[in-house]
Structure 1
Amino acid sequence: MTATATAQTYLRTPTATDDALSARFRSVFDEISAGNVERERQRTFPHEQVEWLKGAGLGRVRIPVEFGGFGASLQQTFALLADLAEADANVAHIWRNHLAFVEDRLNATAGPANDRWISRFLDGEFVGGGWTEANNGTFASLKSTVRRDGDGWVVNGAKFYATGSLYADWLDVLGKDDDGTPLTALVRRADPGVELVDDWTGFGQRTTASGTANYRDVPAADGDVFPATDRFVYQGHFYQTAMLSVLTGVTRAVLRDGTAAIRARGRNYPAALDPTPALDPQLLQIVGQLSAYAFSAGAALDRSSRTLDRVAEAHAAGDRDLPGERVLTAEVATAQAQLVIIDAALRATTEVFDALGASGVSDNLLLDRHWRNARTLSSHNPRVYKARILGDWIVNDKDPVPNLAALGRGGQGD
């Protein structure tokens, strides 16, 4: 399983086909979709559904075939995540931290410690976490610590937005050592001193376990601690694109559920152009517009995720010049995709109700979950700044890429 001496990372040219990936995961996604509404209604945590995906191998989808994975590209990985989000936006979002950490280890220098991580992924071990400081702390004022303790390390601190933590075997924690150097520590969820609190109060993404994680003298081994600045250069773009994948899936789910609802609708308003809702041209126009929102979201996701494959390709080849240029392209594409996909998701999740009348707000349909999920996801990394940054780059050549070495770059958003 160890990478060859000539290849410094575990990255390889993707080999998976879309058909093979669909054949492996489609039936699992369909099973997950079947219970989506009831889980949302009861706020039932999808532990079983996450286990199904572990068993199907979603956690190793990006690992090259020669190391035991499926060899998917980033474009294929994010397309799968969008398909999963169409089935259940909560379940898809739960996988964001795990897939990002797998990508980080694929980019890392090959060696015994990282070989162990590849083995853990192949065994189905799952990574959750949260970098964001609790109690309104910021990356610039980290209070969480990762300090030397004999032959190992000890972790203390409190985090929020710990997405996926309740489903995890490992937790990805950011803290500072005694010299103020930011470090990443992976700790076992089952270790003493780890406390996970289900206190996420958001009106959307309600079963993602995005609440508080407390760490009190939690041990971490040498091979599981490394400088935070060593994380892969497109990590921020990966986290953002994962969120955009979920929003793309939500937009498709709105089209699916809105279409089913209008077909089932029995009567129409007196002002309607046809007494049968499914034949009313104005209502059909709304559904057609929903399909355009889903199309634009999917196209933007596809285009932006391909730019990340280009960054990974340059890194795998050991090219010292191309990654910077390609990171710039990815930064622009990810920001543009964010503007397109968020707009599409919020419009679709609102306008669907224009085609359905009062029956569309029934708790039986629970269509409001789509808007709540879209609004919550869209709030993680506010789009309000993106158009300005893009305009400043286009007009004034202002570099849109933040300092990649800055603390927090590549965290769970931008």
Structure 2
Amino acid sequence: MQHFLESIQVAVMTISVAPPITTEPPAFDLEPQAHVIRSDAEAIEVAKALAAEFAVEAAQRDRDRRLPAAELDRFSKSGLWGITIPGTYGGAGVSWVTLTEVIKLISAADPSIGQIPQNHLAALDAIRVTASEEQKRLWFARVLQGYRLGNAFSEARSKHVGAFETTLTPEGDGYRINGEKFYATGALFAHYIHVGAVNPEGKVHLAIVPRWAAGLAIIDNWSSFGQRTTASGNVRIDNVRVEAEGVIPAYLGGEKPTTNGSVSQIIQAAVDAGIARGAIDETIHFVRNHVRPWIDSGQEHGYDDVFTIAQIGDLKIKLHAAEALLERAGRAIDAAFDDTTEEGATAAAVAVAEAKVLTTEIAILATNKLHELGGTRSTLGQYNLDRHWRNARTHTLHDPVRWKFFHVGNHALNGVKPPRHAWS
């Protein structure tokens, strides 16, 4: 019993340690030169190689809250952060099935690293759909060179997640922005920050500014017990100057049928699928190498226990079901991508919502079963296996699946289309 209590104490200490609050950015390459990926197959191979590398110290990074600045440099320089850029602008224009597989691979290795490009990729899609041709050429070229976009979108004090109090005010040939943001995943590591702000007419724009713009403060005060190294803290915006080239009319993505919301959501679902995949792999390894047979099983090894075997089978089946819906959702986005109709946008949104439900459920189930099947020793601090559950529980809160059930059901029963925004 004493040994059990000590192990639980270690786990609790691991969960509750908060990071120091800092505005000092981690060191990263300020003048990147990225590789340009040319095909879907190349993107998958590059992601597999990086995932194997990122997995090696994932547990240690989580334990120490060590920000993955060097890993992100390798990630973006690999070319993977530019693979959704259309071929007409120099990118690979990979399918969304490929993009979700890339995110799954990286997230299975380290879901904090897998989550960080989400807002970057969502911003690229907003640029694709709503920006001018000059803006597309400018920002796509910068991303293909290796520059990263960081998020400053959600606000902690507004009425709800889609309400914005950050203002975008015209000034001469440019603009000024003022406000405060939270959940700013990726901002601390970014070269440019895309800020969600409303103009005097109340229309939401993305205002893209350099990371070191005067009046911009990015604060690493992320204290969540999960996704610890995403640095998803605050951004303070005090009269920051924005040039016209950086002001993107993102609101247009909600006024006409687009895949903007589906793109944002499918990346989140892919992160959760990756968490599940990584947790199941970890469970199999732990059961094979560390678990004793239960006293009543009559077996020589823990991996011979019939109930454990059945549970592993159940996890695999549910993971494959979630991945199948995720692939189906990716194909729905691909089908609606270039010439989006109301029907295509709705089909994509519903398919992504369905995938989001199953990826959420398998992420939570798999990370919980890791400890059930691994036994008490799986809670020991030396393994840091609780990071899988902490990551799943934290990330799956991003967009509540209770509303996914509602939107899918309301569409099936009443023909009501899901709403158009980044959380649907």
TM-score by length of 2: 0.86
Preserved contact between residue 50 and residue 106 of structure 2 (Cα < 8 Å): no
Distance 1:44 1:113 in 2: 35
Distance 1:332 1:377 in 2: 21
3-state secondary structure, aligned to 2:240: strand
Unaligned runs of 5+ in 1: 1-13, 316-322
1:401 aligns with 2:423: no
1:25 aligns with 2:47: yes
More off after superposition, 386-395 vs 211-220? 386-395
Q: 2:165 aligns with which of 139, 143, 149?
A: 143
Name the structure 1 match of 2:76. 54
Name the structure 2 match of 1:158. 180
Name the structure 2 match of 1:380. 398
Name the structure 1 match of 2:249. 227
Preserved contact between residue 184 and residue 231 of structure 2 (Cα < 8 Å): yes
Name the structure 1 match of 2:325. 300
Name the structure 2 match of 1:11. none
Name the structure 2 match of 1:200. 222
Name the structure 1 match of 2:24. none
> Structure 1 residues 183 and 106, CA, compared in 2 at 3 Å: closer, same or farther?
closer
How far is the alpha carbon of 1:279 from its aligned partner? 1.8
Distance 1:266 1:209 in 2: 35
Name the structure 2 match of 1:349. 367
Q: What does 1:156-305 align with in structure 2 at a 5 Å threshold?
A: 156-231=178-253, 233-265=258-290, 267-305=292-330
1:167-209 per-position Cα deviation (integer Å, ceiling 9, x unaligned): 1111111222233333221111111111111122221111112
> Structure 1 residues 29 and 153, CA, compared in 2 at 3 Å: closer, same or farther?
same
> Structure 1 residues 109 and 66, CA, compared in 2 at 3 Å: closer, same or farther?
same
More off after superposition, 85-94 vs 222-231? 222-231
- Percent identity between matched residues is 27
Preserved contact between residue 291 and residue 374 of structure 2 (Cα < 8 Å): no
Give the AA of the match of 1:382.
P
More off after superposition, 128-137 vs 343-352? 128-137
More off after superposition, 274-283 vs 139-148? 139-148
Preserved contact between residue 296 and residue 344 of structure 1 (Cα < 8 Å): no
Name the structure 1 match of 2:408. 390
> Structure 1 residues 266 and 202, CA, compared in 2 at 3 Å: closer, same or farther?
closer
1:11-66 per-position Cα deviation (integer Å, ceiling 9, x unaligned): xxx98343x22333321221111110110111111111110011100111112345
Distance 1:108 1:226 in 2: 7
Distance 2:162 2:330 in 1: 29
Preserved contact between residue 40 and residue 92 of structure 2 (Cα < 8 Å): no
Distance 1:255 1:263 in 2: 12
Distance 2:231 2:237 in 1: 16
Distance 2:271 2:291 in 1: 32
1:301-343 per-position Cα deviation (integer Å, ceiling 9, x unaligned): 111111111111324xxxxxxx211111112111111211111
Preserved contact between residue 293 and residue 345 of structure 1 (Cα < 8 Å): no
Distance 1:283 1:246 in 2: 26
> Structure 1 residues 394 and 65, CA, compared in 2 at 3 Å: closer, same or farther?
closer
More off after superposition, 89-98 vs 365-374? 365-374
Q: What does 1:39-78 align with in structure 2 at a 5 Å threshold?
A: 39-78=61-100
How far is the alpha carbon of 1:109 from its aligned partner? 5.6
1:148-174 per-position Cα deviation (integer Å, ceiling 9, x unaligned): 111111111001111111111111112
Distance 2:163 2:77 in 1: 39
Count of residues paired in the alignment:
385
How far is the alpha carbon of 1:130 from its aligned partner? 2.8
Name the structure 2 match of 1:5. none
Give the AA of the match of 1:281.
V
How far is the alpha carbon of 1:90 from its aligned partner? 0.2
How far is the alpha carbon of 1:76 from its aligned partner? 0.6
1:64-122 per-position Cα deviation (integer Å, ceiling 9, x unaligned): 34533223111111111111101110001001011111222233466223211111111
Preserved contact between residue 269 and residue 275 of structure 1 (Cα < 8 Å): no
> Structure 1 residues 137 and 265, CA, compared in 2 at 3 Å: closer, same or farther?
same
Name the structure 2 match of 1:319. none
> Structure 1 residues 266 and 217, CA, compared in 2 at 3 Å: closer, same or farther?
closer
Give the AA of the match of 1:401.
P
Preserved contact between residue 130 and residue 248 of structure 2 (Cα < 8 Å): no
Preserved contact between residue 156 and residue 182 of structure 2 (Cα < 8 Å): yes
Q: 1:130 aligns with which of 152, 159, 167?
A: 152
3-state secondary structure, aligned to 1:207: helix
Give the AA of the match of 2:175.
W
Distance 2:175 2:132 in 1: 22
How far is the alpha carbon of 1:346 from its aligned partner? 1.1
Distance 2:132 2:237 in 1: 29
Unaligned runs of 5+ in 2: 1-36
TM-score by length of 1: 0.88
